[in-house]
C-alpha cells in the first residue's frame, strides 16, 4: 500500500492479471491433443450460422488450406461469400439445393437434391486435399428427414482424423449435437426482418 492511489490501482491490476495468467497457462498446459479434425455445429434460431462457417473458411484459406462447400436446400443464389471465396481459389463450391422446401413443395425433389448434395459431400470428405468442409444447411435436410440421420452421423464419425467439418442450420438433431466437438447455438434477440426489412445484398447474401 502506498499513498499514491494510481500506483496502488496499477499494482492490484498487475497482481490480478498475474494470477489470471497462471490459471490460464495451467489450463493450456493441461491439454495434450495438438491436432484433431473437428466436427463443428452452428445451430439455433439466430442469424449468423452460415456467416460464421464462411468466416472460418476464410481463416483456413489464409493458412493455405483447400476448402469444400456443399449447400443443402439453398437454390443457386450467387452470394457474396461464394463470389469472394471462389476468387481466392482453393475452394470447391457446390450449391446443390433447389430452393427452400416451402418453395419447391415437392418432397421427392427435395430428397433427390439432398441425396445429390450428400453424395458430393462424401466425395469431398474422401478428397485428401480438402482440409475444411462446410456442409451448409445440412441440419435442415436432416430435420425434414431428406437424408437418413444414421448414415450421415456414421459417415461424419468415420471421417479421416485431419478433416474439419462445419455443419450449419437450425434445429440440429440431438445425435448431431452429441457427435460434435463444438456446438454453437445462435440466439435471436432482435432481427430487422421483423421490422419489415427485406434480405439485402452484402448482409444476408
Q: Are 139 and 43 in contact (CB under 8 A)?
A: yes
100 alpha carbon, distance to own chain's centre: 19
Q: Which residues contact 114 (CB under 8 A, 6 or more apart)?
A: 72, 73, 97, 141, 146, 147
CATH for 35-195 is 3.40.50.300
Burial of 205 (C-beta count, 10 Å sphere; 0-12/13-18/19+): middle
This prediction has a pTM of 0.85
Q: What is the pLDDT along the chain (205 residues), one digit of tens a residue?
A: 667 788 888 888 988 888 888 888 787 778 677 789 999 999 999 999 999 999 999 999 999 999 999 999 776 667 888 888 888 889 999 998 665 555 556 788 889 999 999 999 999 999 999 999 999 999 999 999 999 999 999 999 999 999 999 999 999 999 999 999 999 999 988 988 888 888 888 888 8
Q: Is 190 exposed, middle or buried (0-12, 13-18, 19+ CB in 10 A)?
A: exposed
Domain boundaries, the chain: 1-32, 35-195
Are the C-beta atoms of residues 33 and 57 closer than 8 Å to each other?
no
Q: Is 35 helix (H, G, I), strand (E, B) or coil?
A: coil
Q: Quick one: CA torsion of 156, 157, 162, 166, rounded to 10 degrees?
A: 40
Amino acid at each position: 500500500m502506498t499513498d499514491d492511489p494510481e500506483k496502488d490501482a496499477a499494482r492490484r491490476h498487475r497482481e490480478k492479471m498475474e494470477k489470471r495468467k497462471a490459471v490460464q497457462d495451467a489450463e493450456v498446459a493441461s491439454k495434450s491433443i495438438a491436432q484433431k479434425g473437428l466436427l463443428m455445429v452452428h445451430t439455433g434460431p439466430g442469424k449468423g450460422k452460415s456467416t460464421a462457417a464462411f468466416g472460418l473458411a476464410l481463416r483456413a484459406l489464409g493458412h493455405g488450406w483447400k476448402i469444400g462447400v456443399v449447400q443443402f436446400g439453398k437454390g443457386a443464389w450467387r452470394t457474396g461469400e461464394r463470389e469472394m471465396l471462389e476468387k481466392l481459389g482453393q475452394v470447391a463450391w457446390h450449391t446443390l439445393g433447389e430452393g427452400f422446401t416451402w418453395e419447391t413443395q415437392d418432397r421427392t425433389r427435395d430428397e433427390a437434391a439432398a441425396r445429390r448434395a450428400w453424395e458430393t459431400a462424401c466425395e469431398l470428405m474422401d478428397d485428401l486435399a480438402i482440409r475444411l468442409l462446410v456442409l451448409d444447411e445440412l441440419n435442415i435436410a436432416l430435420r425434414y428427414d431428406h437424408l437418413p440421420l444414421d448414415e450421415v452421423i456414421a459417415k461424419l464419425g468415420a471421417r479421416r482424423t485431419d478433416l474439419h467439418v462445419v455443419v450449419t442450420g437450425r434445429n440440429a438433431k440431438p445425435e448431431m449435437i452429441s457427435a460434435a466437438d463444438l456446438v454453437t447455438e445462435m440466439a435471436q434477440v432482435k432481427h430487422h426482418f421483423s421490422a419489415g426489412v427485406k434480405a439485402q445484398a452484402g448482409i444476408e447474401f
